[in-house]
Structure 1
Amino acid sequence: MEKGPNLQKDIQALILKWRTYRYAFTADIEKMYRFLWIADEQKSLQKIIWRNSPTDQLSEYALCTVTYGTKSAPWLAMRTLQQLATDHGHLYSEAANLLRHDFYVDDLISRNNCLETAKKLQIDLIKLLKCGGMNLRKWSSNATELLEQLTEDQISQTKFDFKQDDSMKTLGLGWNPKSDIFTFSWNLKPNSKKILTKRALLSEISQLYDPLGWFSRVTVKAKLIFQRVWTKKLAWDEALPKDIQDEWLKTKDQLEELRIVKISRWIGSIQNNIELLAFSDASEKAYSSVIYTRTINQHGQPVVSLLVAKTRVAPLAQKLSLPRLELSGALLLTQLVNKVTESLSGYNITVWAWCDSKVVLAWLQGKASKYEKYVENRVVKITQVIPASNWLYIESKRNPADCATRGLYPKQLVNTEGA
């Protein structure tokens, strides 16, 4: 089967944009794949053999709708939504724009600053999807006014869980519309074997999906544990050393602690101006970056919110000096800033960056061409996005990116002041 090009929207960009609007609403398309019919001449390509019991004769069936699990299903689904927006967009132009840009798989993740506009978009979206025979349901919103014009069976009473495209499973990241906060729940599947192997460890770590890096101080610890395993050169199904098993089990057992962490969805922006407060740091183990927003709310008060973070472990093959790792951290931060500014296009964004390495700050202030190529290339890339004049010094103990370079246990993260 042809897989088709990737039409799926980036979940990170969707959530970043979603957080800048006062009113948020979500919904999903009921049994989306079941409403997408396959062309008659291609139904024969989805034949199955079936019988209800071993004594029955085998019967041949052809699946008539897009079938979840087939290689082409994601592309067919997203392409159908785009075609629906094209065919009927002249009737509902704004709703068609949301259909193209605010859907993740079958979930609508949208927003608006005007309540009346949001109400109209809601009705138009329902009508637009009805043109394709689809039902938009399970509406949630932080504004009760958006739910008043719906029937009871169209409203969801539970929190909204974000999905992962390839598996359609929830990511452990949810949104409570009543309180307008993000909630978290990482339920790792129990190890089917008593012995923890490299294969089992990788499987469990891969379940720690954190699209915006809010728990990067914990996930980097998991990355560092697996890096230690890799240096042992163990076989995939060989038991891990006891000290590594104990460290991972301690981390895993404390994941429940993260349930008490709450992050506000709305960053408080009522103006078109957003300040990005960006921090980078590095240790011999890893380097990290974190970005906060500073906005002015409706009461004229400044609001600072955690926006996004990212970490990487230090490479093993190439041993880098600490200043070079710090420079790599600054470059990682620059790439993250670039992603955020692209996601928040339409806003007036000012970026201020902090680093606790005076060597890196000196490199950024100097003339790039006089440095060796490794430093020169990175200095040029960094200053193209964040000018040298916008880089400032901060002490390590005050740098919020500092603890993400070593990793924390979940309980330590919860108890860290300002985390």
Structure 2
Amino acid sequence: MREYTNLGHMREVPPEENGTGNQFYLPHHPVLGRKLRVVFDGSSRDANGKALNDSLFTGPSIQRDLFAVCLRFRMYKFAFSADIVKMFRQIRVNEKHRNSQKIAWREWMDLHPSDLIKHFQLCTVTYETSCAPFLSERVLEQLAVDYQEENPNASKILLEDFYVDDVLTGSNSEDELLRNRNELIQLMSRANLELGKWVSNTPYIQTDDSDTQPAQTSPVKVLGLYWHPGKGILTYNVGLAENPDYKKRQVFSSVAFHLAISMVCLVLIQTRRSA
């Protein structure tokens, strides 16, 4: 929460501003994975049975086709993947709409019955709100259009080879791949967007863990699949929960999902061999 404030992604609401106009308070809770992060619940309903997501326009679906992104990626000899760091939180929300993203918060170390709970506004697009996917995709689309003449290759990658905040693209020459990477970084910097978690099957691309071990030696998760850069293959993990109450419908659902992934992998493998 301190990071939100320090980065300008959240601002404390002064007492004289609090309680003015229409407002909605978002519940929030911690999620502990590789690191602790906060999740805001846009679907939670208030005492009147209303949720913030009920009042938001979600916008049309403008996400890239996942299968097409994977297919193009497999047609290149050299490739790289990366993602946008804190993508949603890099997009600012108009000030007149920020009262719909208010939260109440008090530092745990200052927790005392006499301490006042502070009120904050979230200043950027919030994950778990129904409009967040459209807003983020629309920003990237506009960025590509605005700088298409100056950065033609990067704009094409941004329009075709991104899936939400992940990019998966390539080239048949290492020099061209490096030029595309540098141009893409330049284009993203125009919107103060940073790319991280770089992975590639060529040492031409500086990867995030190059100081510890080559990224090519271990599989990395990309778009729901596991890419082995050194071997040039895609795999996936299968795991059925060991649950005595596992229903037949759940078994069929899991089998159907993994069968669909298998078919996708087979098509991608055949496409790669044909290329």
TM-score normalised by L of structure 2: 0.67
Deviation of 1:188 after TM superposition, in Å, equals 3.7
What is the correspondence of 1:258-407 to structure 2 with a 5 Å cutoff? 266-267=272-273, 269=275
| Pair 1:29-2:84 in alignment | yes
| Pair 1:160-2:166 in alignment | no
TM-aligned CA distance change 1:50 to 1:199, over 3 Å: farther
Q: Secondary structure at the match of 1:95?
A: helix
- Picking from 57, 63, 68, the partner of 1:2 is 57
Deviation of 1:151 after TM superposition, in Å, equals 9.3
Which structure 2 residue ranges, 5 or more long, are not aligned? Answer: 1-55
CA distance in 2: counterparts of 1:31 and 1:114, whole angstroms: 30
- Picking from 151, 154, 175, the partner of 1:116 is 175
Matched to 1:88, the amino acid is Y
Deviations 1:206-260 (A, max 9, x none): 76374462579xxxxxxxxxxxxxxxxxxxxxxxxxxxxxxxxxxxxxxxxxxxx
CA distance in 2: counterparts of 1:184 and 1:264, whole angstroms: 17
Give the match for residue 98 of structure 1. Answer: 157
Give the match for residue 178 of structure 1. Answer: 230
CA distance in 2: counterparts of 1:162 and 1:37, whole angstroms: 27
**Is this contact kept in 1: 2:154–2:180, CA < 8 A?**
yes
Deviation of 1:54 after TM superposition, in Å, equals 7.7
More relative contact order, 1 or 2 (CA 8 Å, 6+ apart): 2
Matched to 1:89, the amino acid is Q
CA distance in 2: counterparts of 1:132 and 1:68, whole angstroms: 19
CA distance in 1: counterparts of 2:259 and 2:126, whole angstroms: 26
Q: 4+ residue stretches of structure 1 with deviation over 6 A?
A: none
TM-aligned CA distance change 1:209 to 1:64, over 3 Å: farther
CA distance in 2: counterparts of 1:209 and 1:138, whole angstroms: 29
Q: Secondary structure at the match of 1:122?
A: helix
CA distance in 2: counterparts of 1:265 and 1:70, whole angstroms: 37
| Pair 1:127-2:179 in alignment | no
Give the match for residue 350 of structure 1. Answer: none
**How many residues are paired up?**
212
Deviations 1:41-95 (A, max 9, x none): 2111111223345834333221111111110111111111111112233321111
| Pair 1:208-2:214 in alignment | no
Q: Secondary structure at the match of 1:110?
A: strand
- Picking from 206, 214, 219, the partner of 1:147 is 206
**Is this contact kept in 1: 2:178–2:205, CA < 8 A?**
yes
Give the match for residue 104 of structure 2. Answer: 49
CA distance in 2: counterparts of 1:162 and 1:16, whole angstroms: 13
Identity rate of aligned residues, in percent?
Answer: 32
**Is this contact kept in 2: 1:183–1:263, CA < 8 A?**
no
Q: Secondary structure at the match of 2:125?
A: coil
RMSD (Å) for aligned C-alpha atoms: 3.1
CA distance in 2: counterparts of 1:151 and 1:126, whole angstroms: 18
Give the match for residue 13 of structure 1. Answer: 68
TM-aligned CA distance change 1:175 to 1:121, over 3 Å: same
TM-aligned CA distance change 1:214 to 1:100, over 3 Å: closer
Give the match for residue 69 of structure 1. Answer: 128
Matched to 1:129, the amino acid is M
TM-score normalised by L of structure 1: 0.45
CA distance in 2: counterparts of 1:186 and 1:92, whole angstroms: 41
TM-aligned CA distance change 1:190 to 1:73, over 3 Å: farther
CA distance in 1: counterparts of 2:103 and 2:183, whole angstroms: 39
Deviation of 1:152 after TM superposition, in Å, equals 4.7
**Is this contact kept in 1: 2:83–2:166, CA < 8 A?**
yes
Which structure 1 residue ranges, 5 or more long, are not aligned? Answer: 164-170, 217-261, 270-419
Deviations 1:281-336 (A, max 9, x none): xxxxxxxxxxxxxxxxxxxxxxxxxxxxxxxxxxxxxxxxxxxxxxxxxxxxxxxx
Instruction: Pick the structure with greater CA Rg.
Output: 1
Give the match for residue 400 of structure 1. Answer: none
